[in-house]
């Protein structure tokens, strides 16, 4: 490189020093600039064994509770050189792997996917990144357990350690399988579903109180037999995606949902909290027996589904004390007809990240295979509310009948519907930004319902969270107690 620079200089100098030019001054500038350039080709000097007190962005990298065998997100932290000289960090390593040969953690040191590295360059007043991931192996514990390690940085005789902390949770895994007939899931350990599972015809899946069920991306619970969810108000069954870290745990579409297949009947759901699916619960087709129901729901919350919270295709669904909130397209959609009866239910969409082009509540009697689809809706003591001008839309374009019975409801709508005695006043939810859809003081929904406590098998004696209902009850799923 030096020879090349000198030859270039002499060729240029011969031009500027031509007798026809008065170029001594310019030539002098050229000489200075070239030799400065030559000096700039010297390699940067990095000081090893510097004994520098390194500064790290944090002293602890903390991972929330992770299901065993499921990898974490990648976290990162910076390491700073606050001095005016370039240094070599003599050694960066994952302590557990260096000392024992094993670790649940993996690190990447400034782009190098290794668990130990020597002579790591760190320029003056600059920084490097260290990335951390963890995958926890199972053990015999039922409760969450602590998994720790540390990243150690050594500069001369000085060391700096950043602690790595994660909580692991053992689980029972099901992967792309037909479940054993008459299986029971309980709350001993979380249930994790990969690549979907099926409850076969003639079989029942019972899910006991307090059970936590986590679904991997694109996974579903398909039911051709019968589903029984037996949560309690104090210990509901919980279903959601398997990414529990803060970045992903509240994202819609983390898993597919429950799909009750055509021909299946007798499903019962009590005290279920279902979140962040694509379609929360899909119910296919009227039962063969006209007197049977596909699904009875009591005390269920569905929240933040990417497409629909509860979807019925020509289905028969009875629901009590149900709250469906903030789903991407519809909170509820009944399509191709069916019979839907909702009592003390709340359908609401406020303060979410979705840009909606559809109403909270939709019902259609569209013809299926050119056959008319009779449609029946009963909506009592309920709330249908959101940010659009019409949040309850009835599509009567099919050839089948469409009958509605609305009683003691508040509905966000520009269309005056028979039976909506309370008009279209804002129900004044307490704190929608925090997903608190109980009603606030002076709400028009307070004490405006009809007393249904002695009907429907006593399901309406208490509300969604088991508070007693008044003789003049609050509308919606949640009773207001003064």
Q: What is the CATH number of the domain that holds 139?
A: 2.60.40.10
460 token code pair: 């309406």
| C-alpha distances out from residue 449 to 22, 281, 342, 344, Å | 102, 28, 14, 9
Burial of 63 (0-12, 13-18, 19+ CB in 10 A): buried
Q: Are residues 270 and 366 in the same domain?
A: yes
Helix (H, G, I), strand (E, B) or coil at 11: helix
Is residue 47 in some structural domain? no
Is residue 465 in some structural domain? no
Q: Are residues 120 and 22 in the same domain?
A: no
Is residue 126 in some structural domain? yes
Q: Are residues 148 and 204 in the same domain?
A: no
Cα separation, 193 vs 190, in Å, equals: 10
Q: Are residues 128 and 259 in the same domain?
A: no
Cα separation, 294 vs 308, in Å, equals: 18
Q: Are residues 258 and 135 in the same domain?
A: no
Is residue 275 in some structural domain? yes
How many domains does the chain contain in total?
Answer: 3
The per-residue pLDDT for 19 is 39
Is residue 259 in some structural domain? yes
The per-residue pLDDT for 289 is 66
pTM value is 0.83
Q: Are residues 159 and 235 in the same domain?
A: no
Whole domain around residue 112: which residue ranges? 55-168
Q: Are residues 258 and 116 in the same domain?
A: no
Q: Are residues 133 and 34 in the same domain?
A: no
Residue given tokens 């009809």 in the structure block: 450
Cα separation, 229 vs 351, in Å, equals: 30
**Residue pLDDT tens, the chain, 482 long:** 433 443 343 343 343 334 343 443 333 334 344 444 444 455 678 888 888 889 999 999 999 888 998 888 899 999 999 988 999 999 999 999 998 989 999 999 999 999 999 999 999 999 999 999 999 999 888 888 999 999 999 999 899 999 999 999 999 999 999 999 999 999 999 999 999 999 999 999 999 999 999 999 999 999 999 999 999 999 999 999 998 877 777 889 999 999 999 988 899 999 999 999 999 999 998 766 666 789 999 999 999 999 999 999 999 999 999 999 999 999 999 999 999 999 999 999 998 878 888 999 999 999 988 888 899 999 999 999 998 989 999 999 999 999 999 999 999 988 887 767 555 789 999 999 999 999 988 899 999 999 999 999 999 999 999 999 999 999 999 999 88
Q: Are residues 113 and 248 in the same domain?
A: no
Q: Are residues 98 and 203 in the same domain?
A: no
| C-alpha distances out from residue 246 to 73, 214, 301, Å | 10, 15, 21
The per-residue pLDDT for 7 is 39
User: End of a domain among 133, 148, 168?
Assistant: 168
Q: Are residues 299 and 354 in the same domain?
A: yes
């Amino acid at each position: 490189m030096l020879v090349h620079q000198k030859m270039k200089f002499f060729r240029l100098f011969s031009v500027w020093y031509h007798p026809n030019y008065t170029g001594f001054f310019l030539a002098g500038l050229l000489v200075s600039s070239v030799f400065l350039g030559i000096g700039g080709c010297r390699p940067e000097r990095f000081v090893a064994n510097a004994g520098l007190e390194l500064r790290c962005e944090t002293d602890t990298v903390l991972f929330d509770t992770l299901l065993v065998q499921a990898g974490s997100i990648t976290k990162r932290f910076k390491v700073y050189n606050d001095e005016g000289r370039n240094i070599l960090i003599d050694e960066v390593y994952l302590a557990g792997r260096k000392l024992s040969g094993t670790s649940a953690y993996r690190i990447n040191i400034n782009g190098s996917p290794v668990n130990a590295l020597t002579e790591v360059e760190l320029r003056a007043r600059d920084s490097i990144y260290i990335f951390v991931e963890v995958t926890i192996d199972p053990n015999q514990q039922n409760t969450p357990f602590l998994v720790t390690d540390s990243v150690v940085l050594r500069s001369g005789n000085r060391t700096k350690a950043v602690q790595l902390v994660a909580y692991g949770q053992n689980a029972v895994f099901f992967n792309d399988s037909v479940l054993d007939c008459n299986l029971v899931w309980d709350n001993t350990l979380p249930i994790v579903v990969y690549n979907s599972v099926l409850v076969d015809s003639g079989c029942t899946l019972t899910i006991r109180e307090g059970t936590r069920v986590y679904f991997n991306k694109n996974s579903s619970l398909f039911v051709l037999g019968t589903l029984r969810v037996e949560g309690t108000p104090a210990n509901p069954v919980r279903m959601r995606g398997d990414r529990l870290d803060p970045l992903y745990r509240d994202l819609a579409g983390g898993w597919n949902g429950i799909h009750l297949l055509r021909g299946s009947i007798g499903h019962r759901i009590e005290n279920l909290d279902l979140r962040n699916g694509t379609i929360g619960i899909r119910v296919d087709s009227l039962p063969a027996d006209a007197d049977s129901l596909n699904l009875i729901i009591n005390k269920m919350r569905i929240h933040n589904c990417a497409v629909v919270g509860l979807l019925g295709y020509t289905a028969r669904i009875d629901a009590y004390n149900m709250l469906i909130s903030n789903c991407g397209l519809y909170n509820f959609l009944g399509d191709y007809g069916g019979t839907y009866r909702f009592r003390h239910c709340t359908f609401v969409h406020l303060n979410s990240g979705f840009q909606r082009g559809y109403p909270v509540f939709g019902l259609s009697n569209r013809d299926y295979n050119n056959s008319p689809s009779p449609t029946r809706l009963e909506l009592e003591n309920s709330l249908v509310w959101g940010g659009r001008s019409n949040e309850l839309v009835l599509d009567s374009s099919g050839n089948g009948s469409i009958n509605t019975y609305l009683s003691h409801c508040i509905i966000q709508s520009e269309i005056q519907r028979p039976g909506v005695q309370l008009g279209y006043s804002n129900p004044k939810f307490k704190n929608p930004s925090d997903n608190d859809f109980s009603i606030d003081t002076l709400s028009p929904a307070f004490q405006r319902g009809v007393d249904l406590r002695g009907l429907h098998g006593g399901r309406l004696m208490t509300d969604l969270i088991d508070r007693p209902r008044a003789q003049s009850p609050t509308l919606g799923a949640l009773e207001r107690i003064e």
